Amino acid sequence: MSKPLSGKIAVVTGGSRGIGRGIAEKLAADGALVAVHYGKGKASADEVVAKIKSNGGDAFAVGADLAKKGAAQALFAGVDQELKQRTGDTKFDILVNNAGIAPFVGFDETTEDVLDEIFSVNVKSLFLITQEGSKRLKNGGRIVSTSSLASRLPLGAVAAYSMLKAPLDNLAKTLAVHLGPREITVNVVAPGVIETDMAAEFVNNAEGRAFAESKQALKRVGQPSDVADVVAFLAGPESRWVTGQVIEVAGGTGLTFA
């Protein structure tokens, strides 16, 4: 069976766990060579790489702390070095901006340090990584960013996170126009409640899980693979006429007032 991403190269930020891991494994299964970015969890990234290779794919790990200045340059220094060794070039095809943090801190408890960290990781680094990445992205490439349902349905328990996911949606629209002449598509996936380590405090609680399911048309908690499959479509050839879009992957959360 043919693999739609055969011969493609993808960079996935935050690819060592949760949704990012699901995306990295899916893109590799579809034939891409995947750069699995990690912030601090090198062991987890190495585990993802090992699993991809055991399943017949190819990947490598690259580290960069996205909370620090120069994160974009640090990330691509590692990616460039690996790609030059493998292909003799630094060009690649797919950028997935997935890395993010979501401290469960309400409005009153949000300190300046917490706000700065969320902004640095979720917004600033994504902008700068996309800026650096677009210089290396091949014409006809793909950019997919992970936003959140919280940009449409903000959560009081993560007020700053909710506020700082919305900029990703607007950036995609801007970049879709800016990069359109190069036939690069730019889209966003906005997951709802997904069963990951980040959401463990919520989904591992019976009351929280029941609440999430009660708000969804599809009565189950989402899995990383649910998001990864949509990202794989947006990263692949069949999404060639889709750009500047925010696609909710949330099981139909909050469709009505009922």
CA distance 239 to 140: 11
Q: All domains of the chain, ordered by start, with CATH?
A: 9-194+224-249 (3.40.50.720)
C-alpha to C-alpha distances, 105 to 50, 163, 184, 188, 238, nearest whole angstrom: 35, 13, 36, 25, 40
C-alpha to C-alpha distances, 228 to 59, 160, 225, 233, nearest whole angstrom: 16, 25, 5, 9
pLDDT at 189 over 80: yes
Q: What's the rounded mean pLDDT across residues 125-130?
A: 98
Q: In the chain, pLDDT over 70 holds for what percent of residues?
A: 99
Phi, psi at residue 76, to the nearest 5°? Answer: -75, -20
CA distance 46 to 16: 8
Average pLDDT over the chain reads 95
Would you call 161 a catalytic residue per the annotation?
yes
pLDDT at 103 over 80: yes
* pLDDT score recorded for residue 32: 98
Q: In the chain, pLDDT over 90 holds for what percent of residues?
A: 88
pLDDT at 139 over 70: yes
Nearest partner of 183 among 147, 145, 228, 137, judged by Cα = 137
Residue 193 in contact with residue 253, Cβ under 8 Å? yes
Q: What's the rounded mean pLDDT across residues 33-47?
A: 97
Residue 117 in contact with residue 69, Cβ under 8 Å? no
> Confidence class of residue 258 from pLDDT cuts 50, 70 and 90?
low
Of 161, 162, 196, 224, which is the active-site residue? 161
Nearest partner of 222 among 248, 256, 245, 257, judged by Cα = 248
pLDDT at 125 over 90: yes
* pLDDT score recorded for residue 38: 98
